[in-house]
Structure 1
Amino acid sequence: METGVEATSRPEIPAIKEHSLLGSLESMRRDRLAFLLSVARQTGDIGSFRVGPAQMLLLNSSELVHAALVEHANDFDKGFIIHRAFRPVLGEGLFSSEGELHRRQRKIMAPSFQPRHIVNYAQTMVEYTERAQQDWQDGATLDMSREMMALTMSIVGNVLFQTDVLAETDELGAALSTALAYINYILSSFFPLPLNWPTERNRQTRGALELLNRRMQKMIEERRASGEQGDDFLSILLRARDEDGAPMSDQQIKDEALTLFVAGHETTAAALTWTWFLLAEHPDIYQRLRDEVDSVLQGRSPTYADLARLPYTLQVLKESMRLYPPSIALVRVALRPVDLGPYHLRRGQTIMIVPYTIQRRPDYFPDPERFNPDHFRPENEARLPRFAYLPFGAGPRICIGNHFALMEGHLLLAALVQHVTFSLLPGQQIIPDNDKTITIRPRYGLKMRVQRRHQVV
């Protein structure tokens, strides 16, 4: 128990001015990203706001992120709201599970996501990318979100299931979009209706989940029946054993596979979409990127071995994810009273860590609103506070596929830059938004014109 002296010596957590009953509910609904950025700029390292009666604490410093996600990782879980939103879609996969189940699954799966293993997927990534761009006619207009989703879905379908889902992109993509829209509905609604209520939204969501689970189960059964020992992730999940030699249940395999399927293409597609937008807006950076790729590759397809010689390409990708991180927020709920630095949190208090805001701190990233890949020159990146850049989270729950995603984005940029150049169609309003998905995407889409390049020799 705190003494009176200890309690009064703690700094007060600053709170924003808001409606006495609704708090900041309307501001969150109107423009979530702009609102959270405003809270961070008003309050500094930590700030309090309410969504209806529910208090939220926004953490916006690398020190507090370290305290919450690393030092006190076991003192938090994702909380009821996150579980209510994600578990109907992802079950008890790595994103949604907690405690001993999460630790067990993470330990089983982590070796398969190490760089020495995922290098085997580099060729597949490049082959699918070069196949996709061949269909883009010179001068055609593309919906970049759609194109990047189709591309990354085809890649993840192969490396996860060793099957070509490109022909099923529309059906699978629609089902995934519906499922992800349901997640966002739960996260953004004050009184969301239970999934078993007979509403049109719930009917569509249940149909999408049935399709996704049916596909997963069919793949599991076909793989078991074939007896093949492939190196795709489904084969790895089927072969996986815990310390006691026990395999995963079919339901656990489906949960993990669906989690990887969603995370393995949705976030990378969003990151690439914003990268093309930023490059089109900054022709000098675009040209520097092309020069590096042309000089290194000389017209041939990129390989994993080439990535070390394409540092600026990686800087471009990292800077894009700084300005438009794929995931909007990390949410945690205190399981017990806990101290984060000088601040005391009660059991049940909810914290949010928003990469979109922390990665715009001017003391971490000079001129933070400017697209500047030199932020990630090795000497500049080395000076960053450790948790100032969080595109994949941090601590024991850091995204297990972070190396996979970086390799994929790096290779796809290099492969596409060789063949095509994208330019923005005029008259568009490009606003970051996540009303319909859990990732940050352009609110009104992103239309770009493709121009084929002469092959470099």
Structure 2
Amino acid sequence: MLGTKQTKSNTPTQSGNIFDLPHPKGSLIAGHAADFGRDPLGFLTKCAQEYGEIIPLRFANNRALFVTNPKYVERFLKERDLFVKPQLLKRLHDLLGQGLLTSEGETWFRQRRLAQPVFHQKRIATYGEVMVDYTEKMLASWKDGETREIQGEMMRLTFNIVMKILFSSDVTEEQAQSVTHAMSVAADWLMVARKALVPYLSDRFPSPLNIRYKNAMRQMDKHIYDIIQQRRASGENPGDLLSMMMQAQDEDDGSRMSDKQLRDEIATLIFAGHETSANTLTWAWMLLSQNPEVQTKLRQELKEVLGDRLPTIADLPSLRYTNLVIKESMRLYPVVWNMFSETSADCEIGGYHVPAGCTIIGSQWVMQRDPRFFEQPEVFNPDRWAGDLEKQLPPGVYAPFGGGPRICIGRSFALMEVVLLLAAIAQKFELTLVPGQTIIPQPTITLQPKDGIKMVLKKLVNENSTTPES
């Protein structure tokens, strides 16, 4: 039975120790921690290319297995009782608490059940107008010929959208700035924390970054709890996500979310609801600029489907190529670039015995660029998805939103948002990379460009006029 100690039925069918399988050489003390911390994407890619489908790794005293066989990846996505959240993710407790991203077992199941109605298809469809409206407000400030750092633009846009959808008009400028600051500090903190050889001690050492992180979380919590308490005191129900979560009832016992549970889900939704979408759009703009023939094809679809009007939720099925552009962007630059889990009991992988407490690693970055599954994997080609490619791929290969029972609950929301925003912006502006800049993918909590991406804005000419729109 999953979640309990395994019996003789899991005796390995392969001879030998799984940790003796071929693997890269690590240092005596740190193992592979330094190599992974320095360049996670390059290190995991090299491991996959050189050492097979099960690669033993060691991070100081912690044993790990990096798996690249889709069957193994699918298994640890599906069997949530056996493959549980790892310690690294639990170290984000100050930021995300016991939200859906970090919780386990009955806590996760109850929270998922309470949150599910919030993300019902009919519910999220009402947010499309908010998304396009905020995009129009941003575009009104853009000028033809100016240079913008596009990741920052997308982060501000998606943050404003998620705060409006979450809180209606309850949020002050101070509260919004506190939340964005906390998210930024958390990303910096995790970059350093990932490299620590003794996590328990490093997290508690009063370093300047640890103090900054704790203070940022404290300020964020104060503002989120203030919003929750103000809403409870007012008794108002403006129909936003906060109201829906406050009204959600457990179908078994009729209970509702406590203030602490609301705080954790709000923090999770803010993080997952703006950073992931913003970075997906950022990579899409970079890829479109690098592939002008794709950009031309995209604009042609927007012209045929939308003409001069703004996109709406009803247009999504017709924006087929726009969807393919997003799909291919997420393949090449998956915002969730890897997956960690930890075995809760002894088990077997590939016929080998795996002990409890072993970290299992999968990587969307590696799997989604694997030539075993994708022809010319480094090429940006949205048309590769036009047929039945996704159905032909083994489960576990293409998983930008994870998979199994823990697949991202906000998947439909995120896809709706990035397609609508891409369409609304590409209708009016062409974005071109500033020449000479070096763009480095940086895997923090999400995959983002290390120093942002600078792009030149070109306002598109309305076909009914001879000059750019004013």
TM-score range normalised by the length of the shorter chain = over 0.9
Pair 1:76-2:77 in alignment: no
Shift of 1:188: 2.8
In 1, the alpha carbon distance for the partners of 2:424 and 2:116 equals 28
Is the Cα contact below 8 Å between 1:374 and 1:380 reproduced in 2? Answer: no
Q: Counterpart of 1:440?
A: 447
Q: Counterpart of 1:292?
A: 301
In 2, the alpha carbon distance for the partners of 1:166 and 1:15 equals 52
1:31-65 C-alpha deviation (Å, 9 max, x unpaired): 11111111111123221222233222112122111
The answer to which of 219-228 and 319-328 deviates more is 219-228
Structure 2 counterparts to residues 4-43 of structure 1, below 5 A: 6=13, 8=15, 13-43=21-51
Q: 2:437 aligns with which of 428, 450, 456?
A: 428
User: Secondary structure of the residue that 1:106 maps to in structure 2?
Assistant: helix
Q: Which runs of 5+ in 1 are unaligned?
A: none
Structure 2 counterparts to residues 145-184 of structure 1, below 5 A: 145-163=151-169, 171-184=178-191
In 1, the alpha carbon distance for the partners of 2:17 and 2:63 equals 19
Is the Cα contact below 8 Å between 1:294 and 1:456 reproduced in 2? Answer: no
User: Secondary structure of the residue that 1:361 maps to in structure 2?
Assistant: coil
The AA in structure 2 aligned to 1:122 is: G
The AA in structure 1 aligned to 2:94 is: P
Is the Cα contact below 8 Å between 2:144 and 2:458 reproduced in 1? Answer: yes
Is the Cα contact below 8 Å between 2:281 and 2:418 reproduced in 1? Answer: yes
Change (3 A) 1:166 1:301: farther
Q: 2:353 aligns with which of 341, 344, 368?
A: 344
The AA in structure 2 aligned to 1:422 is: L
Q: Counterpart of 1:111?
A: 117
Pair 1:450-2:457 in alignment: yes
Q: Counterpart of 1:378?
A: 387
Change (3 A) 1:164 1:226: closer
The AA in structure 2 aligned to 1:399 is: C
If the length of structure 2 is used for normalisation, what is the TM-score? 0.91
The AA in structure 1 aligned to 2:247 is: R
Q: Counterpart of 1:58?
A: 66
Q: 1:201 aligns with which of 168, 193, 209?
A: 209
User: Secondary structure of the residue that 1:74 maps to in structure 2?
Assistant: coil
Shift of 1:385: 1.8
Q: Counterpart of 1:210?
A: 218
Q: 1:413 aligns with which of 405, 412, 422?
A: 422
The answer to which of 328-337 and 164-173 deviates more is 164-173
Q: Which runs of 5+ in 2 are unaligned?
A: 1-7, 465-470
Structure 2 counterparts to residues 273-312 of structure 1, below 5 A: 273-312=282-321
User: Secondary structure of the residue that 1:55 maps to in structure 2?
Assistant: strand
Shift of 1:164: 7.4
Change (3 A) 1:165 1:311: farther
In 2, the alpha carbon distance for the partners of 1:210 and 1:50 equals 34
1:405-429 C-alpha deviation (Å, 9 max, x unpaired): 1110010000000011110111111
1:321-379 C-alpha deviation (Å, 9 max, x unpaired): 11111112211110111223434311111101110001111121111111111222132
Identity of aligned residues (%): 38
The AA in structure 2 aligned to 1:236 is: M
Q: Counterpart of 2:364?
A: 355
The AA in structure 2 aligned to 1:373 is: P
In 2, the alpha carbon distance for the partners of 1:262 and 1:277 equals 22
Q: Counterpart of 2:4?
A: none
In 1, the alpha carbon distance for the partners of 2:27 and 2:204 equals 33
In 1, the alpha carbon distance for the partners of 2:141 and 2:314 equals 27
Is the Cα contact below 8 Å between 2:171 and 2:227 reproduced in 1? Answer: no
Q: Counterpart of 1:98?
A: 104
Is the Cα contact below 8 Å between 2:334 and 2:365 reproduced in 1? Answer: yes
User: Secondary structure of the residue that 1:137 maps to in structure 2?
Assistant: coil
In 2, the alpha carbon distance for the partners of 1:174 and 1:5 equals 49
User: Secondary structure of the residue that 1:58 maps to in structure 2?
Assistant: strand
In 2, the alpha carbon distance for the partners of 1:221 and 1:19 equals 51
The AA in structure 2 aligned to 1:53 is: N
In 2, the alpha carbon distance for the partners of 1:42 and 1:275 equals 30
Is the Cα contact below 8 Å between 2:170 and 2:227 reproduced in 1? Answer: no
Give the number of equivalent residue pairs: 453
In 2, the alpha carbon distance for the partners of 1:269 and 1:344 equals 41
The AA in structure 2 aligned to 1:159 is: I
The AA in structure 2 aligned to 1:125 is: M
Q: Counterpart of 1:329?
A: 338
CA RMSD of aligned residues (A): 2.1
